[in-house]
Amino acid sequence: MNTTILSARSLSKRYGDGIALNNVDLDIAAGESVAIMGASGSGKTTLLHTLAGITSPDAGSVNYAGTEVSALNETQRSKLRREAFGFVFQAGLLIPELTAIENVALALMLNGVPRRDAEAQSAGWLAHLGLAGMEARRIGELSGGQAQRVAIVRAQVTGARIVFADEPTGALDSHTSANVMSALLAATAGRGNTLVLVTHDPTVAARCSRTLYMHDGVISLAPAAHPDATPPPVAHPVSTQDGSTFMQNQNWAGQP
């Protein structure tokens, strides 16, 4: 059994009168891919941000590989995010003025890698994701799926052990979504690293090794009852074979 790499105990978070997290306990194993689903306002994004050290809980603790994340100050949390975590968001949060290779290389350069070496490493990983020849294109010159693959490379290239993804396929059509999800899984769980993602799409969640459901700030193993609810598709295991063609991972220089 894989070792627990990330855990939460008694996590609570309020925004005004609303309860975003209500005494949440969670364990995530190294190499696992975990999808978090739930209605808007259920607390799923707050949980993701709290696990990643972007948001501080009002009560409770988050532990990453023996480090109590919730006890770190902002400078320490920023360093942890930069060195150990990667991030992929629906909008990508790529820098539009920079090229694909510059966006990826920046993550390495923030960790002290010289520019020439950073760009050489970045070019290799972009090629692994089918983006050879597109290194010099600015983000606006790429399709949505291509831009998300750039974001995945950026999230992996520095060696991140956990990637946090918030609706990474939310703005994509179904075909592109499937391709991006294949790349994301291969680059994380397929290489023995960990993926935690928020999604509204049951077909995306079904590709993860485990799905959790948020309802009123509480985790359950089944979706909240809804008269129009459709059961999620049956999950299938993540192929480690896919991961053999993808990269060693990175991190986004996370900001609070």
Please state which CATH number belongs to domain 4-243.
Answer: 3.40.50.300
Burial 30-69 (b: 16+ CB within 10 A, else e): bbbbbbbbbeeebbbbbbbbbbbbbbbbeebebbbeeeeb
pLDDT in tens, 110-142: 889 999 999 999 998 898 888 899 999 999 999
pLDDT in tens, 171-197: 788 888 898 899 889 888 888 899 999
Instruction: Please give the pLDDT value at position 125.
Output: 86
Tell me the average pLDDT of the chain: 84
Instruction: Please give the pLDDT value at position 224.
Output: 63
Confidence label for 92 from pLDDT (cuts 50, 70 and 90)? low
Phi and psi angles of residue 53, each rounded to the nearest 5 degrees, phi first: 75, 15
- The mean per-residue pLDDT over the stretch 217-242 comes to 53
Question: Would you say 47 and 41 are in contact if contact means Cβ atoms under 8 Å apart?
Answer: no
Instruction: Give a three-class secondary structure readout of 102-128.
Output: HHHHHHHHCCCCCHHHHHHHHHHHHHH
Residue 90, pLDDT above cutoff 90: no
Tokens 């999604």, residue?
Answer: 199
Residue 14, pLDDT above cutoff 70: yes
- Percent of the chain scoring above 70 in pLDDT: 86
Integer Cα distance of 106 and 114 in angstroms: 10
Confidence label for 13 from pLDDT (cuts 50, 70 and 90)? very high
As to burial, measured by CB atoms within 10 angstroms (0-12 exposed, 13-18 middle, 19+ buried), residue 178 is middle
Q: Terminal CA-to-CA distance of the chain, rounded, Å?
A: 33
| Of 85, 177, 186, 178, the residue nearest 129 (C-alpha) | 186
As to burial, measured by CB atoms within 10 angstroms (0-12 exposed, 13-18 middle, 19+ buried), residue 206 is middle
| Of 256, 252, 253, the residue nearest 154 (C-alpha) | 252
User: Per the confidence metrics, is the pTM higher than 0.75?
Assistant: yes
- Can you give the residue ranges of every domain in the chain? 4-243
Confidence label for 37 from pLDDT (cuts 50, 70 and 90)? very high
The number of angstroms, rounded, from the C-alpha of 110 to the middle of its chain's C-alpha atoms is 19
List residues bridging with 250 in a β-sheet.
none
Instruction: Please give the pLDDT value at position 248.
Output: 32
- Percent of the chain scoring above 90 in pLDDT: 55
- The mean per-residue pLDDT over the stretch 77-103 comes to 88
